[in-house]
């Protein structure tokens, strides 16, 4: 009897408590068929049509992508006119482009425009620690979608589950591959998924599995690139509606100054302008707020507690005027917009802003060489005027070297190698990782050519500054006193030297 009390009874009590707890958990998770307490269920968000959602009219600067998606929305609204001619809509649309260009916003605009259910889920939400759970979530998502067809399924950052399979040779993630295999089957398997259109977004399209990007799965690839001048102006105006701005703001000028900015960065520029207006105690943002906010996004806030010595300030002034003079005295160079020697939180002690007059898609060999010479102008000015060189040219050296190497290895602008690609670029939307594809001997030759090219452009910059020494000294002294000057002031003083009345 004592044996039963001391051993059997505690075991029976623990078994009873375990069964009681498991029933409670199953009840909360939805019953015994809940795939291990709901882990196999898709947690996609379902959106219905609403009057206050994002519409295509709220999205600017991506007209071509918007047109492709508007066609899909039109098909969902009225499929008969497409079926009459025998046309069928793409099963999948892949949105590709750099971060911040509006891929997810375009998907939200489709949800706002479509009269059909819209499922939204991130690629990372399919990844689970238990094997088989990701594939189960894919099955559950498509089961829900087929029940509500016609509908749209949006998978953000699809590269989280859609990366190329490695056949297990390197010990690949079996769970991720099972999830991908299930997605491939659901998109174009024996059963089919008529009425379900898949939208997906990624900024790493080259990493996706070829079986996922083939026609029949993602039939249409829609690039969502950085906006051009007209697009940037339209995006600025859209975001400016959310804040109070002065009536005389020149959005075209702001758009030109923000060359290369994404939609997200332009939204940040407008918001920074509003914050600056509040800090100054004003009720609205003006032109100066927007221009300053561009500098904040590019170079950071002004470091008001950073005090340069007189010698450092003089060196930085000569350095920046060196850049500006070389740029202004070369053909095919972007006009100088602003020069400042006020330190910034990014670490820059000063910078020279150049602004293109319009869209600039191609660069000639001469333009790239001029750009390298402009980068070299700062160091050359220090050497000529101060008689010593400083660490301030580190970023200039890096940028000049990158351009020189690209001319030889990617752009075919060297007589030694001609039109031979010696370098490959991956992750083009995430900064572009370059890797040389040549022998060690060729790499050594490339290094020699890069050094020769940069040295040649440095000597050209040095010669320009020596020929215009009076202008260099006069402008540097003026910048030293004022700390910030505009491009118009710079050109006026340069003309007043009497040496370049044709400028």
Q: Which residues pair with 198 in a beta bridge?
A: 92, 153
One-character DSSP codes across 127-179: --SSTTHHHHHHHHHHHHHHHT-SEEEEEESTHHHHBPP-TTTT---HHHHHH
Indicate the DSSP class of residue 384: I
Place of tokens 């890096």: 398
Distances (CA, A) of 264 to 158, 163, 172, 177, 269: 20, 26, 35, 33, 9
Cβ proximity of 350 and 340 under 8 Å = yes
Between CA 120 and CA 123, with CA 122 as vertex, the angle to 5 degrees is: 130
* Residues counted in the chain: 503
CB within 8 A of 141, min separation 6: which ones? Answer: 42, 44, 119, 121, 153
Cβ proximity of 134 and 175 under 8 Å = yes
Indicate the DSSP class of residue 3: H
Residue 426 has phi, psi (to 5 degrees) of: -115, 165
Distance CA 282, CA 266 (A): 21
Cα dihedral 395/397/402/404 (nearest 10): 150
Cβ proximity of 68 and 220 under 8 Å = yes
My answer on whether omega of the bond before 493 falls inside 30° of 0, hence cis, is no
Indicate the DSSP class of residue 433: E
> Residue 440, SS3?
helix
> Residue 430, SS3?
helix
Number of neighbouring beta carbons within 10 Å of residue 471: 23
Distance CA 191, CA 142 (A): 11
Distance CA 418, CA 334 (A): 28
Cβ proximity of 142 and 183 under 8 Å = no
Distance CA 122, CA 483 (A): 48
Q: Which residues pair with 424 in a beta bridge?
A: 435
Q: Which residues pair with 94 in a beta bridge?
A: 200, 221
H or E element at residue 353: strand 351-354
Residues involved in catalysis: 320
- Residue 335's nearest CA partner among 486, 477, 197 is 486
Distance CA 353, CA 259 (A): 11
């Amino acid at each position: 009897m004592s044996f039963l009390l001391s051993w059997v009874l505690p075991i029976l009590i623990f078994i009873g408590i375990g069964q009681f707890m498991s029933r409670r958990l199953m009840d909360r998770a939805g019953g015994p068929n809940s795939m291990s307490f709901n882990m196999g269920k898709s947690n996609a968000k379902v959106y219905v049509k609403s009057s206050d959602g994002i519409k295509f009219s709220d999205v600017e600067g991506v007209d071509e992508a918007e047109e492709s998606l508007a066609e899909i929305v039109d098909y969902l609204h009225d499929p008969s006119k497409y079926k009459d001619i025998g046309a069928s809509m793409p099963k999948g649309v892949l949105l590709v482009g750099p971060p911040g260009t509006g891929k997810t916003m375009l998907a939200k605009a489709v949800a706002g425009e479509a009269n059909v259910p819209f499922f939204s889920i991130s690629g990372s939400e399919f990844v689970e620690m238990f094997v088989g759970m990701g594939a189960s979530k894919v099955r559950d998502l498509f089961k829900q979608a087929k029940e509500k067809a016609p509908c749209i399924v949006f998978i953000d950052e699809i590269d989280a589950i859609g990366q190329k399979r490695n056949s297990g040779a390197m010990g690949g993630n079996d769970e991720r591959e099972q999830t991908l295999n299930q997605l491939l089957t659901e998109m174009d398997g024996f059963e089919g998924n008529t009425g379900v259109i898949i939208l997906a977004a990624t900024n790493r399209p080259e990493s996706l599995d070829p079986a996922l990007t083939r026609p029949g799965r993602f039939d249409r690839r829609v690039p969502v690139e950085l906006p051009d001048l007209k697009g940037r102006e339209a995006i600025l105006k859209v975001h400016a509606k959310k804040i109070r701005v002065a009536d005389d703001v020149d959005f075209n000028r702001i758009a030109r100054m923000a060359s290369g900015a994404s939609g997200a960065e332009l939204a940040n520029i407008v918001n920074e302008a509003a914050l600056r207006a509040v800090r100054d105690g004003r009720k609205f943002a003006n032109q100066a707020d927007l221009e300053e906010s561009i500098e904040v996004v590019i170079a950071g806030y002004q470091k008001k507690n950073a005090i340069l010595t007189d010698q450092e300030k003089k060196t930085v002034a000569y350095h920046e005027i060196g850049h500006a003079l070389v740029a202004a005295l070369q053909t095919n160079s972007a006009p100088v917009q602003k020069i400042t020697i006020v330190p910034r939180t990014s670490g820059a002690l000063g910078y020279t802003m150049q602004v293109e007059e319009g869209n600039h898609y191609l660069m000639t060999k001469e333009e790239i060489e001029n750009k390298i010479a402009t980068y070299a102008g700062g160091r050359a000015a220090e050497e000529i005027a101060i008689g010593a060189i400083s660490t301030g040219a580190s970023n200039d050296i890096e940028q000049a070297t990158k351009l020189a190497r690209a001319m030889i290895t990617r752009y075919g602008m060297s007589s030694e190698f001609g039109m031979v690609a010696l370098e490959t670029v991956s992750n083009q939307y995430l900064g572009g990782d370059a890797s040389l594809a040549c022998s060690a001997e060729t790499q050594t030759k490339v290094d020699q050519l890069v050094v020769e090219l940069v040295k040649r452009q440095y000597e050209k910059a040095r010669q320009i500054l020596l020929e215009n020494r009076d202008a260099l000294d006069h402008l540097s002294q003026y910048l030293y006193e004022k700390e910030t000057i505009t491009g118009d002031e710079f050109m006026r003083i340069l003309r007043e030297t009497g040496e370049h009345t044709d400028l």
